[in-house]
Chains A and B, each alone.
Chain A
Amino acid sequence: MQKKENQEVENRPDNTAFTQQRLPAWQPILSAGIVIPLFVLVGLAFIGIGVALFVTSRNLHVLEMDYTGVEKTSPCFSCSDPIKQKNCKCSLSFELDKLFEGPVFFYYGLTNYFQNQRAYGVSKDYNQLSGDLDYFTFFFSIVPDSTCKPYRYDVNNKPIVPCGSLANSMFNDTFNLYQMKNGVKEEVPLDGKGISWWTDYNIKYRNPSVNPLRNAFNGTVKPLYWSKPAYELDPTDTANNGFINQDFLVWMRRSALPNFRKLYRRITDGLPAGNYSLEISYNYPVIAFDGKKKVAFSNVSWMGGKNEFLGIAYLVIGSLCLVMSVVMLIIYHWRNSSPDAN
């Protein structure tokens, strides 16, 4: 505008649809007549989805058991104070009255556990976890990352690897599942492979490329609450150690909510009906913060684990839409007849 004037061109504005604000426009008016079919369609679709979800969810089974041992009757009562009771073991018996089709996912669960606290969550050194050896050793209070405090150095000022509260507080109960077949304990095979995210295992977390792995950890100490150093987490499988240990990876992926489950193992063949005994090596203290420990067996489908909420929600909203369409119809008729009367 200003420019045009300076150049002394004719000031006449361009006569285009855009500048004259005459672009072809669609002006939908949300009124009863138009939305009735929409509501009917949405309602029907939602009811369809809702039914599918609900039915799928119904077919899923879940068995959840608390083994914290707060009550005296609880089998793990004796172990509930792990400070006093080192390497305490307890066993939990349960009965399945129908077959859990495979694959069955075996979870451990914690409640009232704020893995999503901010300071807790950031308390790790990413460079350590990606296998950068420079971050394993003490380096002028820059390495490891200061967010790891107070789990950065031990009393001797040796760096902790992996450092930080998150790694330090790794869940360390272990479970063995036995099926009671005619009074004989038969161990159910648990599959611990691929329980973590593929990207975590293959890309995000890396071990230092030092062979054997333990040499990489020279001059460092294991996290305070760990019983074994990182390179010995899985004595059975050397590839499952260090920072790419599946259980470690699962733990490091922080849960979103304070009551959560984490995948422990998979049972590929499913669990036939019968009596089972779960042997727990009870290490992890939760009583102090009023937490609960649980185990859960669940089979999964395309929609994940059992969850009736979403199906019900779809059904409710679907029906609501249908009701709404009826209401709209009434309004529509009332409107269409009344203006003439006016």
Chain B
Amino acid sequence: MPWMSPLARIRDALAGQRARDKDLRNLVSNLPYEGLDKWKQPNRHFRNNGIKTTKYSVLFFIPMNLFEQFHRLANLYFVGLAILNFVPVVQAFEPEVALIPICVILALTAIKDAWEDFRRYKSDKKLNRLPCFVYSSKEKCFVEKRWKDVRVGDFVKVESNDIVPADLLLLYTSDPNGVCHIETANLDGETNLKQRRAVPGVCITVSNTDILLIIHAVIRTGCLGFSHPDLVLKQHLGCTVRNTGYAVGFVVYAGHETKAMLNNNGPRYKRSRLERRLNIDVIFCILLLFTMCIIGSLGHVPLYLVPQTDGHLDTPSLSSFYKFFSMIILLQVLIPISLYVSIELVKIGQIYFITNDLDLYDEETDATIQCKALNITEDLGQIQYIFSDKTGTLTENKMVFRRCSIMGREYPHKENGMFLCGPKRALKMYIYKIKILMFTKSLPPNQQETEVILDQKLLRQIRGTEKIDAYQDFFLALAICNTVVVSMATAKRLRVSTAEFQQTNQSNPLDTLSSLVRRAGSWTRLRAPITSETSANDLTTQGQSVNQTGGQTCSLHVPPQGTAPAVPAGKLCYEAESPDEAALVHTAKAYGFVLMSRTPDSVTVQLPSGAQLRFEVLDTLSFDSNRKRMSVLVRHPISKQCILYTKGADYAIMELLETPYGEKQQKAIASDTQQHLDCYAKEGLRTLCIAKKVLCDGEYESWAVQRQHALAAMDNREQLIMDSAVQIETNLCLLGATGVEDRLQDSVPDTVMTLREAGIQVWVLTGDKPETAVNIGYACRLLEQDDLLYLDHFLLLSQVTCTSILDCGLEEVRRYSEDPRNVDTTPDISLVIDGRTLTMLMSPDLRDRFVDLARHCRSVLCCRVTPLQKSEVVKLIREKLKVMTLAVGDGANDVNMIQAADIGVGISGQEGMQAVMASDFAISRFKHLKKLLLVHGHWCYSRLANMIIYFFYKNAANVNLLFWYQFFCGFTANAMIDHWLMIFFNLLFTSVPPIMFGIMDKDVSAEMLLGLPELYRTGQGKGEYSFFTFWISMLDAFYQSLVAFFIPYFTYRGSDIDIYAFGTPLNTISLFTILLHLSIEIKAWTIVHVFIILGSVTLYFIVTLAYGVRYLNYSGYWTLQAQMVDPMFYLVCLISTVIALLPRYLFHVLKNSITCSPIVEARHLDTLEPSTRDQWIKEWRSFRGRVQDKTSDVSVPPSPSLESLDDDSIMDDEFALNVITANHHKKANS
């Protein structure tokens, strides 16, 4: 439309706004409107797909950036001062000079912002230019367009391995099942493929060529209603189509409205504790400044133009008022304007060193540490509490199948256990032998996860002819009851040849090997399944049914041709959402039950006999944390029975078992299995129960109706779906249980021990059951053998009882610490709490007591906690105890906790990237935490703390010279140093050394910090940067400035010295004092330090001399030159500097000689030879250890109740509970 009234435009804009805001989106295809004016486009209200994440535009960069920067109060303050300086009556500097510092700082920040924005711009541009295919009705085919030209309402074709350009409604895929696989690795790191289905009802009939038809179908039907979660191919960047020829979708959300962009909230801003303290000190500085200015304005002698003057003079009070502002301008440096910029620079430097540390680099994943939060490095040095997830954080989260129990019989898989004892070594041998045996050259990288050593007894059971049902069911359940997606590792088809078919069986070589070693005879047995598996392809394609041994379940059914996905017998790759599932599927595969393919409707499993069964999947009741189980409802291809396979946490399954009326066998199986489960749990295995239920058709149908209702429900859908799931998961028949081991990560026990020695309380918050958690706790030395465990089991108790129990525990702890024999030791109590108890303890009445008790415990283990509870615990401790907390985790369930803690550390492990995304620091191994905290944390904190203190000192020392001078110039805000030099003093001569100090100083070497973890304690609590240290350094600054002023004053008093000749030695003394002060503070001198300090001094002289020559106008013309030929100048500078630094020097000497703080001793040790030093470290540690042992030996708390708890009884929660309550009653009675 060429013209329209403004009113109409506004109306249209409002309509567009409404359309965008609506929950329900009515979209029309763009095709009929193609080529029309923009005004006639139906989807004009919606954003196009171009993204723009830049903050500024080229034209408006300067005003916008300035506007942004003036949001900072400090900047405003300094600009205000600079403007004030243009007012003649209050002027203290030449107005232009006063503008320089603020301009430099604004410019630096602007350059930094511009650079960041430019990088964003470049990446945006790259994205916007990506090609994609959009259907054009004119061309009648898909034409290539750029991403940014894609609009809502377009039809987009995405080919395999392409990135999805926008949020799409999937209409069609080349897959016959209408399924499209997508990988979201770039988005959340989950490498498993996810399935998305095309909209049902659209793509049934079309063949590959007739995409047009679908499109027309959509247009014709006009209205298709969808709710968003299921049908939209979500996620913007980094969501890639895989394993699908191509897919066609309809753009629903584009550009900034896509899910990915909406989720992208930008970096979070965290403020470190040090910075909060710093701000308080800045306020002190402001108060100080005001005091000084008030003194100045009160003492001001009005200008007296000698001799008598006829000029106009202000009244004294008015002139005093003016002088107040002049003083602020003159002394403004007291508020460290450059401090904030310097801190940012220092942190960038610190992060540079952290990310470049080789020790924090993981070879395996080729990942270094990522620092996502740039401004909390120093918080790493103050951590007091660590909250850790267990799975994937302490452990590898690489699940290895270890044991199983089927029908009450235990199959210990001893070889598997042996393998686990020395994983590395065994693996090597294994690889070696495989090489010899199989002549294969390479092994897949994820070999470790998939290998399972078969249990001979179990193998015989399966192979055996009798009692096969339950066993088969068990393995079928393992293979079926999961959400594992099968994909091909290589697209290459493999021929059946002896050399290669060994390769195809990833899981089998070792078992082949082991059985070969043990019994030559088994080789032939094993060959059978292998051969049949690899020839499975032939079987399928031929559509031939093979009938083999075994009863009804073993009879085979060949899936009908065409609908069955063609599964090449290549390398099957299982992509599971959780590693447990993968481990179980691999186990099933090892025993011959190979999961061949999975579609939403069917699961194909190959039996040991080589036959393939295609189960129709009736429903999948997916896992949720309330039910703690998942089920798959399938129809058996032969018996046509409806079978429900359920897998879940033992307690979740055991409750639901069929109550066997008099059937003793079932009961026995249940109790035996339970026994095995307990045993597994004690070994630290993750246990799962497998159960089955056969449904009659009627039962299924009635349930299915209900299920449909639940799925279709609009309100309360979640709940209804869950209810329906619960309804069918009853009267299960127990098949067996599995024990999967989650290996501890490398050097976790050592790390935990070290962290604890460093004075950090380590809490483990896990979703696992208590037994498993306790065992892992022991394994990683979180719990010690002599620990006392309170296994709180408050479930059935009233709140009053809880209170009394807590009180009682507290009493014990108090008694312990009050005991004179237990000075400096903490009671060896560890707390084990389960989720439900935790909920109770977190209630407002009990939380204080709980925190108090937990504070006295050496470690706390919370089991079966939900993600929300995790974050609540972190918040509680953080707020109640006012401590620095760190949360470390790897999975999506840790995100809450990571965000709640002061520092969130994500471990980029097996469970995707959510944790890493939310974290401040992302590491690849738990052990890296040790160096990150003990070394980098300590360094960063001590560096930054010292740097900030030094910065305050530096500015105060320099500015006070001016203040003292005011006493001698009638408080007229005059400076005895040229203004340019004053500016340069802060910008050039003394700015680099503190930054270098903040980046590179090393009080103790990394070896010592790792060797003596207790050095970390210095940073905890207040640490080096406290009220005390701040004021000490401020006092020192006052003292030093007094010396630097009054020594020259007394020297030159009464002489004919002029202002700037007097100011030159003052400035020089100030420079030397400030730099030498830093030299005293620097703990380790490297070539860089020497270079920078000497460079600063040289720069001072060069600039001052050059400046003195160049500018005639300059009031300090030729002054330094004149001074430098006068010997008195050097004598004055020498003695003033010495006197100024003497106290600090002496203080350091005395501190180092008399006190014996650990840091000082460590520094002494640091100077020794490495070998002697290691000797010393050992001695020191053993000495400390002995002391601790001694005290703990002597000081067994005099409590009968606690004494009587030995290791075995601790495990018995009932008992522990009784004792404590009894004890409490006793106390209450007395």
Residue pair B1056, A15 in contact (C-beta under 8 Å)? no
Contact of A31 among B306, B1112, B1153 (CB under 8 A): B1153
Contact of A331 among B1085, B1087, B1153, B1160 (CB under 8 A): B1153
Residue pair B968, A303 in contact (C-beta under 8 Å)? no
Residues from chain B with Cβ under 8 Å of A303 in the complex: 1127-1128, 1131
Cα A121 to Cα B91 with chains together (Å): 13
Interface residue? A11 (CB, 8 A): yes
Q: How far is the CB of B451 from chain A (nearest CB, A)?
A: 28
Which stretch from A87-95, A183-191, A227-235, A306-314 is at the chain B interface?
Answer: A306-314
Q: How far is the CB of B1208 from chain A (nearest CB, A)?
A: 42
Interface residue? A158 (CB, 8 A): no
Residue pair A114, B301 in contact (C-beta under 8 Å)? yes
Residue pair A25, B1002 in contact (C-beta under 8 Å)? yes
Q: How far is the CB of B185 from chain A (nearest CB, A)?
A: 14
Within 8 A of B (CB), among A90-114: 107, 109, 113-114
Q: Can you offer 19 A-B residue contacts whose CB atoms are under 8 A?
A: A12-B368, A21-B1002, A25-B1002, A29-B1167, A30-B1145, A107-B1056, A113-B306, A117-B304, A150-B310, A151-B305, A199-B1122, A204-B1117, A255-B1058, A257-B1054, A285-B308, A309-B1050, A310-B1128, A324-B1146, A331-B1154
Within 8 A of B (CB), among A183-220: 197, 199, 203-204
Which stretch from A67-75, A135-143, A174-182, A259-267 is at the chain B interface?
Answer: A259-267
Residue pair B1118, A199 in contact (C-beta under 8 Å)? yes
Residues from chain A with Cβ under 8 Å of B972 in the complex: 114, 116-119
Cα A19 to Cα B304 with chains together (Å): 61
Given known pairs A23-B1088, A118-B973, the reply for A310 and B1131 (CB within 8 Å) is yes
Residues from chain B with Cβ under 8 Å of A25 in the complex: 1002, 1084-1086
Given known pairs A116-B1059, A253-B1058, the reply for A13 and B357 (CB within 8 Å) is yes
B contact residues, range: 35 or more
Interface residue? A274 (CB, 8 A): no
Residue pair A31, B356 in contact (C-beta under 8 Å)? no
Q: How far is the CB of A84 from chain B (nearest CB, A)?
A: 13
Residues from chain A with Cβ under 8 Å of B471 in the complex: none
Residues from chain A with Cβ under 8 Å of B1054 in the complex: 109, 257, 259-261
Q: How far is the CB of B1148 from chain A (nearest CB, A)?
A: 5
Given known pairs A19-B356, A23-B1088, the reply for A304 and B1126 (CB within 8 Å) is yes
Residue pair A313, B355 in contact (C-beta under 8 Å)? no
Given known pairs A11-B368, A256-B1057, A256-B1059, the reply for A26 and B1084 (CB within 8 Å) is yes
Contact of A197 among B1080, B1085, B1086, B1122 (CB under 8 A): B1122
Residues from chain A with Cβ under 8 Å of B1053 in the complex: 257, 259, 309
Chain B residue at smallest Cβ distance from A32: B1153
Contact of B1058 among A14, A49, A256, A259 (CB under 8 A): A256
Residues from chain B with Cβ under 8 Å of A165 in the complex: 305-306, 309
Within 8 A of B (CB), among A123-150: 126, 130, 149-150
Residue pair B968, A29 in contact (C-beta under 8 Å)? no
Cα A10 to Cα B368 with chains together (Å): 10
Residues from chain A with Cβ under 8 Å of B467 in the complex: none
**Further 4 A-B residue pairs, CB within 8 A, beyond A49-B1131, A256-B1058:** A25-B1002, A33-B1153, A257-B968, A303-B1128
Interface residue? B311 (CB, 8 A): yes
Residue pair A256, B976 in contact (C-beta under 8 Å)? yes
- What are the 5 tightest A-B residue pairs by CB atom distance, in nearest-first order? A150-B311, A256-B1062, A118-B974, A25-B1084, A23-B1086
Within 8 A of B (CB), among A1-51: 1, 10-15, 19-21, 23-33, 35, 42, 46, 49
Interface residue? B1132 (CB, 8 A): yes
Interface residue? A169 (CB, 8 A): yes
Interface residue? B1063 (CB, 8 A): yes
Chain B residue at smallest Cβ distance from A82: B307
Chain A residue at smallest Cβ distance from B306: A169
Interface residue? A60 (CB, 8 A): no
Given known pairs A165-B305, A169-B305, A225-B307, the reply for A256 and B1052 (CB within 8 Å) is yes
Interface residue? B784 (CB, 8 A): no
Residues from chain B with Cβ under 8 Å of A197 in the complex: 1118, 1122
Q: How far is the CB of B123 from chain A (nearest CB, A)?
A: 9
Among B308, B357, B1149, B1167: residue with most chain A CB under 10 A: B1149
Cα A223 to Cα B1006 with chains together (Å): 72
Chain A residue at smallest Cβ distance from B1166: A27
Q: How far is the CB of B1083 from chain A (nearest CB, A)?
A: 6
Q: How far is the CB of B1123 from chain A (nearest CB, A)?
A: 12
Within 8 A of B (CB), among A146-163: 149-151
Residue pair A1, B355 in contact (C-beta under 8 Å)? yes
Digitize A329-341: 1 where CB-to-B-CB distance is under 8 Å, 0 elsewhere: 0011001000000
Given known pairs A23-B1087, A25-B1084, the reply for A114 and B1118 (CB within 8 Å) is no
Residues from chain B with Cβ under 8 Å of A119 in the complex: 303, 972
Cα A259 to Cα B1049 with chains together (Å): 11
Residues from chain A with Cβ under 8 Å of B353 in the complex: 19, 21
Interface residue? A280 (CB, 8 A): no
Residue pair A30, B1080 in contact (C-beta under 8 Å)? yes
Chain B residue at smallest Cβ distance from A206: B1112
Count A-side interface residues using an 8 Å CB cutoff.
Answer: 81
Residue pair B1117, A13 in contact (C-beta under 8 Å)? no
Residue pair A20, B356 in contact (C-beta under 8 Å)? yes
Residue pair B366, A12 in contact (C-beta under 8 Å)? yes
Interface residue? B628 (CB, 8 A): no
Interface residue? B92 (CB, 8 A): yes
Chain B residue at smallest Cβ distance from A324: B1146
Q: How far is the CB of A59 from chain B (nearest CB, A)?
A: 16
Residue pair A118, B92 in contact (C-beta under 8 Å)? yes
Digitize B678-721: 1 where CB-to-A-CB distance is under 8 Å, 0 elsewhere: 00000000000000000000000000000000000000000000
Chain B residue at smallest Cβ distance from A170: B306
Chain A residue at smallest Cβ distance from B1148: A30
Residues from chain A with Cβ under 8 Å of B312 in the complex: 150
Residues from chain A with Cβ under 8 Å of B542 in the complex: none
Interface residue? A53 (CB, 8 A): yes
Residue pair A260, B1167 in contact (C-beta under 8 Å)? no
Cα A298 to Cα B368 with chains together (Å): 73
Residue pair A285, B307 in contact (C-beta under 8 Å)? yes
Cα A53 to Cα B1051 with chains together (Å): 12
Interface residue? B1150 (CB, 8 A): yes
Interface residue? B1113 (CB, 8 A): yes
Cα A261 to Cα B1056 with chains together (Å): 5
Given known pairs A53-B1131, A197-B1122, the reply for A257 and B1152 (CB within 8 Å) is no
Interface residue? B1138 (CB, 8 A): yes
Cα A109 to Cα B1086 with chains together (Å): 52
Interface residue? A284 (CB, 8 A): yes
Residues from chain A with Cβ under 8 Å of B1132 in the complex: 310
Within 8 A of A (CB), among B1027-1064: 1047, 1049-1059, 1061-1063
Residue pair B305, A30 in contact (C-beta under 8 Å)? no
Interface residue? B1102 (CB, 8 A): no
Cα A26 to Cα B1087 with chains together (Å): 9
Residue pair A149, B311 in contact (C-beta under 8 Å)? yes
Q: How far is the CB of A320 from chain B (nearest CB, A)?
A: 8
Interface residue? B970 (CB, 8 A): yes
Residue pair A130, B358 in contact (C-beta under 8 Å)? no
Given known pairs A14-B356, A118-B974, the reply for A29 and B1057 (CB within 8 Å) is no
Cα A324 to Cα B1147 with chains together (Å): 12
Interface residue? A272 (CB, 8 A): no
Cα A162 to Cα B92 with chains together (Å): 24
Residues from chain B with Cβ under 8 Å of A168 in the complex: 305
Among B305, B363, B1059, B1080: residue with most chain A CB under 10 A: B305
Interface residue? B107 (CB, 8 A): no
Q: How far is the CB of A20 from chain B (nearest CB, A)?
A: 6
Residue pair A328, B970 in contact (C-beta under 8 Å)? no
Residue pair A257, B1084 in contact (C-beta under 8 Å)? no
Digitize B967-993: 1 where CB-to-A-CB distance is under 8 Å, 0 elsewhere: 011101110100000000000000000
Within 8 A of B (CB), among A251-294: 253-263, 284-286, 288-289
Residue pair B1055, A304 in contact (C-beta under 8 Å)? yes
